[in-house]
Every structure is written in structure tokens, then in C-alpha cells.
Amino acid sequence: MNYPDTPAHQLAARVQEKPDLLDQMPGDYAVLCSKSQNLQIFISFEPQAIFQEVSTIKQRLLAGKSLPLAGATVALGDNFCTAGLVTTCASRMLSSYEPPLTARAVDALRVQGSVIIGKANMEEFGLGSTGNSSHYGAAKNPWDPDRTAGCGAAAAAATLVSLALGTDSCGEARQAASYCGVLALKPSYGRISRRGVIEYAPSLTQPGLMARNTRDLVLALEATAGEDPGDPTSLKLLVPGYFSRVHEGRKGKGPLKVALLEDWDAVPTLETEVREAFQAQLDDLPKAGLEVEAVSLPSFQESSLAAAVISAVEAFSNLANYDGVRFGYRAEGPSLQEMYTATRTSGFSSKLKQFITFGALVSSEKYYTSYFVKSQKMRTRIARELESCLEEYDLVLTPTVPFTAPRLERPRVAWQLPDPAHFFTAAANLSGLPALTFPLLSPSGLPVGLQFIARFGDEAALLKAALLLEKKNPLQFPQPGFKDQGGCGR
């Protein structure tokens, strides 16, 4: 059995039957990861920890436990807390920080039998997906090591793991998946607990799930979704059985009705590669059983601006606990004030500092009403518009990112506000609606994403659409090439 290539749902079935199959995993990973250092996909990777996790799962299987994700390998964005394992947020600020607790979503995956392979490299504190702000150097794209990879998705694309978790605050997990050619799901706000997730914008963030096929995504969602009394924004809605929902027929409802964002191709930053791949898929959608109509959503184009203001204000406050007093990195200073300044000056990257400064500015008395309040109103308008569109349609359809993975040596879009990568993705964060990106390939063979947004709580519609597309588009991954490029280690 080729361990990393096997989809998680198939693997789980086999491992459940024959727990001994797990024995080869730690060894496989030691080899895989030593071969893939150059991609800088992982910040921490500890074969010892993998060995430990695997033996625990084996014992549980041998004791007769049924584990739907038995042996499923997971890469965690390094902003998911893991007790006993350094959690850096790809920042100097937390370069040696060991959290006392593990994120609830991670515990949920472990309960179902999955193995945490390592902590994935990402943008510092999960902010954006197009830059190079990691304290450990940028993660490289397995399709083209000169391009960015965003968070976690690279590990899944390079078939180092079956599943990856990354935060999605303005679309980061979906963007990473789009750059790397895998699926990503951002659930409805509150669907997955944020406890133990280090985030910069609490009102926008959901853990994003990434996988190479829809069935694995369904399993990951079933494992992690659910109410958490420890998260005050956790959804009290019942979690549907996604697996059966996705597979049940439409029962006379006809094909899925899809609203295509009108003028999607008028976005200034749209690359030809994306336009062509997306257009080709559009033409194929009716054959896959999706009925598409163009719909005008005039406020949608404001979403990346509103998200920039709101997320910057929240980040300014949410990252204020990194002050060098209780944990993490501290630079010395002769007074408390000077210690703060020194710590935050040398602990954060310049991108993050600019962002926080912007947040402090737009929340100051002078700009509060004209920027922050205005953005919140814009947010409400964007949400209302999407919700009313979704009363008539099952899904809203857009490209995921206007461009393919940006080149690392020229991060031309890294410092812009609003971030052009958020153009299509931020609306789902602002409205709290669930969204999914499905991987396409451009004519020149680069990954591109197609995004669906669904009604609040209706992740099943997204997964169903993904399954329909998957039937028509056998997914491809760059596994042959990557092994010479490398992938792990700090």
C-alpha cells in the first residue's frame, strides 16, 4: 500500500480491518519528509510523535474501536494549538511557545483515529496567503517551487497527508487550496469550535478543512463539526449527517440551482489562466447536473475592503496579548513601555505590523465611524444580498482567487489593502456562510479554484456539488515531481 496516496476513507476501512498496516507509517514518513525538506512545508515534524500517535490508534483499533478516520494523516496549520508540541504561528513571537492545551478541532480528529503528522508552515499568524511573512521562510508550492503555497494545503497537494487544517479568516484556507490544487471547505461560522485556534480576526474565522477528495472532506467535517460550550460563538444547530446528506438524491428537486456572480470576469486582477479554466468549467457544469444563471450581486465587490478594515481592527486587539509579559518572545527594554515596543518591533514581521497599525488607525476615534462602522454596515449589506440570492438558488458560484499562486520572488500583491486574493473569498467570512473551493487546472497546468457559497448551515449542498464535479473532473496531484523537491523540517 502506498500510504500517503491512499484516500483517507479507503485507508480507514483497510486499517480498521488490519491495524498492522499502521506499522509502516512512521517509517514511510521519515523517508518522505527527509526527501522533501526544500519545500519548507512543515515547521515542526517529529517522527517520534507520529510513532506515539500511531501506536495509540493501533491499540484502540485492536480493542475493537471503530474509527472512521483510522490512520488518516493530518497537517495542522501552525496556529492550531497542540499541547506539548511547539505552536509558532510562523512568527518569531511564538518561536518556542508550547501551549498547555490542544485545539478542540484537533482533539476531535484524533478521537476519530487520525494522526497528526506535523505543523504546517503558513503566513505569520495566518494573515493572508500571498506573501512571504513566515519566520521560517515561505512554504513552496509543490506544483512549482517558485510559487507560494499558503497554509497546509501544500502538504495535502504534495500527498504528504490526506487532510490539512488551516484558518480561514478572509479566505486563506480556500486560497491556499486554490494555489495548490486541493479542495477546501470553510464551514458556517460557529460550525467548528475556534477553541485553541490562534486567529487574528475572531468574527470572521473558521477552521478551514483541506483534502484531495470530497469523501475525505466529508469525514473531516463530520469529525470536527459540533457545538462547543467553550466557544461562545459555537453553533447550537444540530450537525446533520453529512455523509448521508451528500449521497441522498435530490428527490424531485431537480438539478442544483447555481447563481453565477455576474461580472466575475471583470475583476481587474483576474489572470487569463483563471479566466480560461473557470470558463471551461462553466461550460461543463450543466453536464455535471448544475443549472447556472448569472446573478448581479452589487455589494459583493466591496467585501475585500470591508474585510480588510474589520479584520485589521480585530487583529490590532486580538494580537495585543503578544506583549512579552507572560509567554513567548521578549526583547529587553529599560521600562515596561520600551520592553513592549522592542518585543513587538522585533517579534512581528513588517507585514503584520503594518496591518496592526492600520487596524489601530481605523479604530481610532477619528476614523471609527467613517471606516469601522461603515465597514460593518457594508458587511451587513453583503450578507443580506447573498442570503436573499440563496433563497432562490442553492449555491453562489465564483472563481476562488483571481490569480494562480503568486511567485515568491515577486510578492507583488503581498502588501496591498484590501488584499486582492480576498476578492471572491471574503464575502463568505463576512456573512458567515459556508464556502468550498474545488480544484481546476489551467491550460498551462497550474491549479485554479472554483468556489461555491451555500446557505447558512448547508455545508451538504457544497459537498454535493463538489462530488458532482469530482465525477466529471478526475483530480490530479503533482506527486511524481515533488519527491525531489522536498517538504519537511524546521
Partner 1 sequence: MNELETVVGLEVHVELLTQTKLFCGCSAAFGAEPNTQVCAVCLGLPGETLPRLNQQALEFAIKAALALNCSIAGEVSFDRKNYFYADLPKGYQISQFFQPIGTRGYVEIQSAGEIKPIGIHQLHLEEDTGKLLHVGDILSSPFSRVDFNRAGVPLIEIVSEPDLRSAEEARLFLQKLRSILRYLDVSDCKMEEGSMRCDANVSVRPRGSSALGKKTELKNMNSFRSVYKGIEYEVQRQSRLLQEGGEVLPETRHWDEGAELTRAMRSKFLSANYRCFPDPNLPPLLTSRERLNALQEAIPELPDARLERFVREYSLPRYDAEILTATRELADFYENTLAVFPVPKAVSNWTMGELLGLLNEAGQEIGTCKITPTDLGELLKMVQEEMISRNMGKAVLEEMFASGEKPGVIVEKKGLVQISDEGALAEIIARVIDQNPKSVEDYRGGKKKAVGFLVGQVMKETRGKANPQLVNEMLKKQLEV
Q: Which residues bind partner 1 (CB under 8 A)?
A: 79-81, 87, 89, 94, 97, 99-101, 103, 194-199, 201-203, 229-233, 313-314, 316-323, 325-328, 336-337, 340, 360, 363-365, 368, 372
Buried b / exposed e across 219-237, counting CB within 10 Å, b at 16+? bbbbbbbbebeebeebbee
Nearer CB in complex with partner 1: 328/406: 328
Query: Considering the complex, what minimum distance in angstroms separates the CB of residue 80 from partner 1?
Result: 8
Contacts of 266 (CB under 8 A, 6+ apart): none
Query: Considering the complex, what minimum distance in angstroms separates the CB of residue 244 from partner 1?
Result: 31
- CA dist 459 and 318 (Å) reads 28
Nearer CB in complex with partner 1: 379/464: 379
Nearer CB in complex with partner 1: 152/420: 152
Nearer CB in complex with partner 1: 98/293: 98
Nearer CB in complex with partner 1: 21/89: 89
Query: Considering the complex, what minimum distance in angstroms separates the CB of residue 233 from partner 1?
Result: 6
Query: Considering the complex, what minimum distance in angstroms separates the CB of residue 364 from partner 1?
Result: 6
Strand partners, 291: 257
Are 434 and 454 contacting, i.e. CB atoms less than 8 angstroms apart? yes
Which H or E element spans position 259? strand 256-261
Query: Considering the complex, what minimum distance in angstroms separates the CB of residue 419 from partner 1?
Result: 20
- CA dist 356 and 127 (Å) reads 11
- CA dist 109 and 98 (Å) reads 20
Nearer CB in complex with partner 1: 42/322: 322
Structure letter (DSSP) for residue 108: H
Query: Considering the complex, what minimum distance in angstroms separates the CB of residue 232 from partner 1?
Result: 6
Query: Considering the complex, what minimum distance in angstroms separates the CB of residue 337 from partner 1?
Result: 8
Look at the block and give the residue holding cell 519566520. Answer: 135
Query: Considering the complex, what minimum distance in angstroms separates the CB of residue 195 from partner 1?
Result: 6
Is residue 148 left, alpha or beta, with left meaning phi > 0 and alpha meaning psi from -120 to 50? Answer: beta
Nearer CB in complex with partner 1: 181/328: 328
Residue type, 150: G
- If we measure between CA atoms, which residue out of 129, 404, 440 comes closest to residue 269? 404
Query: Considering the complex, what minimum distance in angstroms separates the CB of residue 166 from partner 1?
Result: 14
Nearer CB in complex with partner 1: 313/461: 313
User: For residue 333, how many other CB atoms are within 10 A of its CB?
Assistant: 15
Nearer CB in complex with partner 1: 163/201: 201
Are 271 and 404 contacting, i.e. CB atoms less than 8 angstroms apart? yes
Query: Considering the complex, what minimum distance in angstroms separates the CB of residue 197 from partner 1?
Result: 6
- CA dist 488 and 40 (Å) reads 6
- CA dist 163 and 212 (Å) reads 8
Nearer CB in complex with partner 1: 198/382: 198
Mapped onto helix, strand or coil, the DSSP state of residue 369 is helix
Buried b / exposed e across 183-204, counting CB within 10 Å, b at 16+? bbbbbbbbbbbbbbbbbbbbbb
User: For residue 17, how many other CB atoms are within 10 A of its CB?
Assistant: 11
